[in-house]
């Protein structure tokens, strides 16, 4: 539902897009109230991982005010000032670390102090992007806006599979006074495939079988394929057994597409064959390449955010077909910042209408940045 404005507070209903609303509230400084959170469910109110997210936002800000109703079905959130700095946080094992890491990635450049966050929990989850995917496909997008990677780093210290987790990552992000405008309409051709297969508390042969299956698909298209294995042992293997794969396609214009797949969670009863896992991940990567665009489809929304907050100049980027999550995020950007994007379907004049319909349609996103300034970052 669209927001209702009451006494300069944006009021939403329902639990959908909870994370988007907290993120944009924190960046814009606008207070929000979210009502009727799962009010008709048998277990109403906020989930544990959503409360955990609020705690994380409280750690990276100063002066944030949160009010919860007794039933947890209503929350009032008045953001404080972004401070960043050293943050240690144990993430809820109901969601992957990626659920929280994406928020820190979006906030990092605008903190008062460079962000140095240590997150513990599940590194690979079916519900969220993995830390490998963020490292491979999201960090290069941020580099387009800040140009210099002085201190931008994501390190996987330990991996942790669901349901118990046990993983740990360290994320470091430099601060910027402002983000540069972006012109990004070409993404080139895929020149190489890289990947990593991890095996946690299972036989190392599992990883090798995944590698062979994935390579069997990708070598049909490109010869430069290399997949590393990360056979974790002891405390580095987390608390639950599992294995998975992350594949990355790099293009000639430094665009990175990523796909991933993992075994079913321990205790679910189903058995995942390593060969099936490798083939599924390779096919997902081919789908992502087919969608095209200058960024991986999972990170269209964060690209839109940085374009909207950039300097007061025109930013333009061509992406693959917009995801539903991105479409809703664009609506929220309008409500919080008043930014509107111009969206045009990119058509190839040499293709017929019938051929166009059979292809994955790219979208040109254009906006004028609001000139968002990190007032804590002084210029020399």
179 contacts 310 by C-beta, under 8 angstroms: yes
- Residue 139, pLDDT above cutoff 50: yes
Q: Which residues of 197-221 are buried (b: 16+ CB within 10 A; e: fewer)?
A: bbbbbbeeebbbbbbebbbebbeee
Domain of 93, CATH number, reads 3.65.10.20
pLDDT given at position 267: 75
Last residue of a domain, one of 231, 262, 291: 291
Please name the residue ranges forming H helices in 254-365.
274-291, 300-309, 324-337, 353-358
Residue 364 lies in a domain: yes
Residue 375 lies in a domain: no
Residue with tokens 């309008």: 334
Residue 373 lies in a domain: no
Residue 108 lies in a domain: yes
Same domain, 194 and 283: yes
User: What strands, in cross-sheet order, belong to the sheet with 342-346?
Assistant: 183-184, 314-319, 362-368, 342-346
- Residue 163, pLDDT above cutoff 80: yes
Residue 131 lies in a domain: yes
Residue 181 lies in a domain: no
The gap from C-alpha 148 to its chain's centroid, in whole angstroms, comes to: 21
- Residue 174, pLDDT above cutoff 80: yes
- Residue 58, pLDDT above cutoff 80: yes
Same domain, 196 and 284: yes
Element (H, E) at 367: strand 362-368
pLDDT given at position 150: 80
CA dihedral defined by 225, 229, 230, 231, rounded to 10 degrees?
Answer: 170
Same domain, 3 and 34: yes
The gap from C-alpha 129 to its chain's centroid, in whole angstroms, comes to: 6
Residue with tokens 């609020």: 54
**pLDDT per residue over 355-365, tens digit each?**
444 456 899 99
Residue 339 lies in a domain: yes
129 contacts 119 by C-beta, under 8 angstroms: no
Same domain, 71 and 92: no
Domain count, the chain: 4
Same domain, 278 and 267: yes
Same domain, 260 and 337: no
* Integer Cα distance of 25 and 19 in angstroms: 10
- Residue 101, pLDDT above cutoff 60: yes
Q: Decide: pTM greater than 0.85.
A: yes
The CA angle 230-279-293, to the nearest 5 degrees, is 90
* Integer Cα distance of 292 and 289 in angstroms: 5
Same domain, 312 and 271: no
Residue 378 lies in a domain: no
Q: Which two tokens stand for residue 122?
A: 């599940």
Q: Which whole number is the average pLDDT over 25-34?
A: 95
Q: Where are the beta strands (DSSP E) in 202-312?
A: 225-232, 242-251, 256-262
The CA angle 348-324-153, to the nearest 5 degrees, is 90
DSSP state of 37: T
Sign (positive or negative) of CA dihedral 231, 234, 238, 240:
positive
Q: Which whole number is the average pLDDT over 123-152?
A: 91
Last residue of a domain, one of 291, 321, 336: 291
Q: Which two tokens stand for residue 158?
A: 């330990």
Same domain, 171 and 87: yes
Last residue of a domain, one of 176, 201, 222: 176
Same domain, 201 and 261: yes
- Return all residues near 53 (Cβ < 8 A) that are at least 6 apart: 18, 19, 22, 99, 100, 103
Same domain, 10 and 87: no
- Adjacent-strand bridge partners of 172: 116, 153
Domain of 212, CATH number, reads 3.30.360.20
Range of the domain at 323: 297-368
Same domain, 2 and 76: yes
Same domain, 250 and 171: no
């Amino acid at each position: 539902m669209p927001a209702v404005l009451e006494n300069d507070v944006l009021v939403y209903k329902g639990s959908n897009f909870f994370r988007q609303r907290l993120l944009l509230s924190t960046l814009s400084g606008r207070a929000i109230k979210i009502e009727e959170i799962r009010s008709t469910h048998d277990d109403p109110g906020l989930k544990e991982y959503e409360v955990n997210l609020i705690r994380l936002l409280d750690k990276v800000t100063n002066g944030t005010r949160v009010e919860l109703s007794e039933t947890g079905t209503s929350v009032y959130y008045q953001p404080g000032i972004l401070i960043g700095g050293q943050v240690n946080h144990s993430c809820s094992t109901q969601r992957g670390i990626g659920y929280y890491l994406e928020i820190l990635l979006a906030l990092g450049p605008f903190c008062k102090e460079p962000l140095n966050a240590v997150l513990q929990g599940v590194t690979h989850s079916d519900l969220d992007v993995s830390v490998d995917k963020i490292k491979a496909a999201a960090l290069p997008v941020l580099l387009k806006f800040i140009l210099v990677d002085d201190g931008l780093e994501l390190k996987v210290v330990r991996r942790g599979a669901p349901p118990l987790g046990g993983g740990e990552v360290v994320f470091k992000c430099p601060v910027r006074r402002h983000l540069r405008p972006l012109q990004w309409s070409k993404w080139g051709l895929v020149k190489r495939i890289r990947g990593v297969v991890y095996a946690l508390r299972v036989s190392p042969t599992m990883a090798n079988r995944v590698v062979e299956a994935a390579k069997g698909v990708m070598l049909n298209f490109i010869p430069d394929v290399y997949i590393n294995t990360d056979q974790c042992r002891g405390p580095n293997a987390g608390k639950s057994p599992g294995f998975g794969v992350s594949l990355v396609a790099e293009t000639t214009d430094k665009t990175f597409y990523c796909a991933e797949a993992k075994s079913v969670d321990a205790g679910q009863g189903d058995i995942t064959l390593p060969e099936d896992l490798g083939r599924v991940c390779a096919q997902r990567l081919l789908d992502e390449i087919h969608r095209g665009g200058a960024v991986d489809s999972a990170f269209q929304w964060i690209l839109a955010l940085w374009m909207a907050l950039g300097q007061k100049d025109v930013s333009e980027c061509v992406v693959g077909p917009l995801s539903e999550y991105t479409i809703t995020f664009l609506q929220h950007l309008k409500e919080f910042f008043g930014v509107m994007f111009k969206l045009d379907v990119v058509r190839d004049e040499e293709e017929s209408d019938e051929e166009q319909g059979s292809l994955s349609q790219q979208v040109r996103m254009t906006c004028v940045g609001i000139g968002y300034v990190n007032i804590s970052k002084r210029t020399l």
